[in-house]
Structure 1
């Protein structure tokens, strides 16, 4: 397993943002690693490829896809995993919730194919303890709280899922990553104190668009 621990920075931007540009994302990733981040989390083959050309640190790769009729959107099918692997991802992040999957491809099959055909570890993005335990059972190498608060089953809850994290630490034997809603260094430290192997921080570090929007809303 890759040495992912401590701080991982998610370098992403809304598709309509001027920051949603491969060289800019790559620069964000470089800046994060220069200041001590142990790895980065990136969306789309283009952003992964641009970053891989200038960065040796581990890349958790994903590809968000909106497929009509399905809520699963983080690397939902093997073809998406294959594309980000070819772009240079070291770990493939996938939606590992218990929701229906497109084209009848099961989560077990997807994890197995990533392992066998791509030779890469899998980060399972989950929303509940049940999904976390299922992902570990099916062979996920690391499990993250990424989708806590973002699915129908958890939409009434607010990230970060620190209670979920504590439960996962008790129940799982694979490394656990706390991701989603980390809004301060103190909160990140708390997640590590609760037993997370690593913490992924996105918006609070790289989310210029959302941060400015929040300030504007607060200022009226």
Structure 2
């Protein structure tokens, strides 16, 4: 699975996700979206749920960053929040498992350090990515032993809400100081932004979702440009 890092180095990973309330919610549609991304030159896929990941893996030969979004009550942590979701992702052979790596309380009362220690012991050969919102999140995840850190949750937590993304300063700082692969993710909308980010020292790869695979959001941006 360590081949993942070689395959995606300085390349684009496309996030193919659609939640239940979204128009494209379908494992078949996500598999075709992944196929289109592969034909377009993507080096990897990020996907949600065992069903979608399985369908994608049957369709493309690209490595996958897998997550399971599961909301437990009013808990704000919903990206691979417990060991149960990690077990399910391992079972479908996802190359990388990403999980919320903020310091927020998790739904089962287990702290992130406790969870990570347990899953690292259980799956020593698995690559784990930390979805972070701040520099401090990333530094703590690195020190815990995560293999990869990402900026996925920047702008999506209470303390970072409203911040402009992609946060180029944060991405650059992480690349310069982490010492482990950094994957930029969140708010990358233009080819120029992607070029600038992948040109930074220490930035291993970048994930783009909304700008490529969410036509509803893309359409909204064009409509808003007309209305403004």
TM-score tier after normalising by the smaller chain length: over 0.9
Q: Tell me how far apart the structure 1 counterparts of residues 120 and 103 of structure 2 sit (CA, whole Å).
A: 20
Q: Is the partner of 1:213 in helix, strand or coil?
A: helix
What is the CA-CA distance between 1:112 and the residue it aligns to? 2.9
Q: Tell me how far apart the structure 2 counterparts of residues 143 and 162 of structure 1 sit (CA, whole Å).
A: 15
Q: Are 1:135 and 2:141 an aligned pair? A: yes
Q: Answer yes or no: is the 8 Å Cα contact 1:29–1:51 preserved in 2.
A: yes
Aligned residue pairs total 220
What is the CA-CA distance between 1:211 and the residue it aligns to? 1.1
Q: Tell me how far apart the structure 1 counterparts of residues 126 and 39 of structure 2 sit (CA, whole Å).
A: 25
- TM-score normalised by length of structure 2: 0.91
Deviations 1:111-170 (A, max 9, x none): 233333233111100010111000000011000001111111111311102111111122
Matched ranges for 1:3-152 at <5 A? 3=6, 4-5=8-9, 6-118=11-123, 119-152=125-158
Structure 1: stretches of 5+ with no match in the other structure? none
Q: Which stretch of structure 1 is more off in the superposition, 6-15 or 141-150?
A: 6-15
Q: Are 1:209 and 2:216 an aligned pair? A: yes
Q: Is the partner of 1:103 in helix, strand or coil?
A: coil
What is the CA-CA distance between 1:203 and the residue it aligns to? 0.6
Q: Tell me how far apart the structure 2 counterparts of residues 217 and 156 of structure 1 sit (CA, whole Å).
A: 19
Q: Tell me how far apart the structure 2 counterparts of residues 112 and 209 of structure 1 sit (CA, whole Å).
A: 39
Q: Tell me how far apart the structure 2 counterparts of residues 186 and 128 of structure 1 sit (CA, whole Å).
A: 24
Q: Is the partner of 1:92 in helix, strand or coil?
A: strand
Q: Tell me how far apart the structure 1 counterparts of residues 216 and 68 of structure 2 sit (CA, whole Å).
A: 20
Deviations 1:14-63 (A, max 9, x none): 42234110111011111112222110000111101111122221100001
- TM-score normalised by length of structure 1: 0.94
Q: Which stretch of structure 1 is more off in the superposition, 131-140 or 109-118?
A: 109-118
Q: Is the partner of 1:26 in helix, strand or coil?
A: helix
Structure 2: stretches of 5+ with no match in the other structure? none
Q: Tell me how far apart the structure 1 counterparts of residues 180 and 122 of structure 2 sit (CA, whole Å).
A: 22
For the aligned residues, what is the CA RMSD?
1.4
